[in-house]
Copies of this chain bind each other. A is one copy, B any other.
Amino acid sequence: MSGDFPEQAAEMLQRLRGATPRVHCLMNTVVQKPVADGLSALGAIPSMTSSVDEVSGFVAKADALVVNLGTLDDQRRQAIRLALDTVQDKAKPWVLDPAHCDYSPPRATFAQELLARGPAVMRANASEFVLLSVPDTVVGVRTGASDLVRQGERSLAIENGHALTAKVTGTGCLSGAIIAAFLAVERDAFQAATAAMLVVGVAAEIAGETAHGPGSFEPAFLDALDRIGPAEITKRARVAHAQD
């Protein structure tokens, strides 16, 4: 599958831009702005409210949801439960990002509770993954120096990316939101997640070619998400069958 995968990812990106899907983000307060900008640059439409009396209305209008557990408090926990009632009711896809659950036992417990509610994809880093038990029905995306997408026996590694990504707060959270945007246009969650991570990785690579550091990397990365086309993806893709 890694052979024709870049072409499929390029085609999915075109489909995403044609559809301009709405992605509702229950996002930590630190990175709401760069996540919104990243989605807009890619071609999706972000929304961000976590107000308990508004979240159901926003999620009902959205095509996909991302639930990020950073800066978690009671109000957002309540908003997340309401949002999941709505996505389950309307069978919309959603992504779980258990951000920093390795720092906070109650957050890890809550992440495990949410995994039981059936996200299409969970995105996390290695130290978050080891704490959680991920059902086979959920596609796992483990981001790091290379990104691993796995579901049961199926797995692919995406080698694209740039080291400066780790120095810009919010790039990981944005990956979760971009996976949600791809889920809005592709029902195969494994393929949607792999396409999303490939687009993010190639855009980061392009940005890294002109950046002078993490400050100039961030606007260059947004510019790349805006301009990236099928040709860059198929030319630059480095996707391999993973041996983990």
A185 at the interface (CB under 8 A from B): no
A134 within 8 A of B: no
Q: How far is the CB of A43 from chain B (nearest CB, A)?
A: 9
Number of identical protomers: 3
Number of A interface residues, CB 8 Å?
Answer: 54
With A103-B57, A104-B57: A71-B49 Cβ-Cβ less than 8 Å: yes
Q: Is A7 an interface residue (CB 8 A)?
A: no
Tell me if A186 counts as interface (CB < 8 A to partner B). no
Q: Is A32 an interface residue (CB 8 A)?
A: yes
A57 to B57, CA, bound (A): 34
Determine if B212 and A216 form an interchain contact, defined as CB atoms under 8 angstroms apart.
no
Chain B residue at minimum C-beta to C-beta distance from A223:
B213
Binds B, one of A88-96, A117-125, A152-160, A167-175: A167-175
Q: How far is the CA of A104 from the CA of B49 in the complex (A)?
A: 10
